[in-house]
């Protein structure tokens, strides 16, 4: 089986780049700095289904994203979650939360309506993320792990 990003995830996000294991996606909701990691592996719905070595890689990439996103945004708290009740393909949310944000202190899911980025905002956020993770992305040629 070949990895293919779930259509719902593809519709809700923008591709930022590819880490060694995961696709890095930006959630199209301007209310929160929200990055999703999706391991490029087919038919995986739970973390423990990945081989142990890939679980370790997933969490290393997750820690990298969480720490850099906290430093970039100076947020109050990182929210980390793998839920998958609607989209079962394994995906890991990283949401930088502020005590002043829309849903605080509740989790972000199901609170109000998403606020899509404008074209300008979208490009600015993607550019800043690509700058933040420069040197960590793999080139397209080396993606077939």
Q: Which backbone phi and psi does 125 adopt, to 5 degrees?
A: -70, -45
**CA–CA distance, 49 with 22 (Å, rounded to integer):** 15
For a copy of itself, the binding residue among 48, 53, 100, 142 (CB under 8 A) is 48
Buried b (16+ CB within 10 A) or exposed e, 58-84: bbebbebbbebbbeeeebeebbeeeee
Is position 123 an interface residue for a copy of itself (rule: CB under 8 A)? no
Q: Does 67 bind a copy of itself (CB under 8 A)?
A: yes
Per-residue tokens: 121:
């905002």
Residue 74 in contact with a copy of itself, rule: CB under 8 A: no
CB 23 within 8 A of CB 6: no
* 63 touching a copy of itself, by CB under 8 A: yes
Q: Does 118 bind a copy of itself (CB under 8 A)?
A: no
The residue (of 56 and 128) whose beta carbon lies closer to a copy of itself is: 56
Pick the binder of a copy of itself from 1, 51, 74, 110 (CB under 8 A): 110
Chosen residue from 14, 102, 104, 136 binding a copy of itself by CB under 8 A: 104
Q: Using CA atoms, how far apart are residues 135 and 116, in angstroms rounded to an integer?
A: 28
Residue ranges binding a copy of itself (CB under 8 A): 45-48, 55-56, 59, 62-63, 66-67, 70, 77-86, 88, 97, 104-107, 109-110
């Amino acid at each position: 089986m070949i990895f293919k990003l779930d259509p719902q995830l593809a519709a809700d996000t923008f591709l930022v780049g590819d880490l060694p294991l995961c696709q890095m996606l930006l959630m199209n909701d301007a209310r929160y700095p929200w990055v999703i990691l999706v391991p490029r592996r087919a038919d995986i719905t739970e973390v423990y289904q990945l081989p142990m070595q890939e679980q370790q890689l997933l969490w290393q990439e997750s820690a990298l994203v969480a720490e850099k996103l906290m430093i970039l945004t100076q947020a109050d708290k990182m929210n980390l979650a793998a839920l998958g009740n609607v989209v079962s393909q394994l995906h890991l949310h990283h949401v930088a939360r502020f005590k002043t944000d829309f849903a605080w202190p509740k989790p972000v899911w199901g609170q109000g309506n998403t606020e899509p980025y404008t074209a300008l905002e979208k490009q600015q956020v993607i550019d800043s993320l690509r700058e933040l993770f420069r040197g960590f992305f793999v080139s397209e040629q080396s993606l077939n792990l």
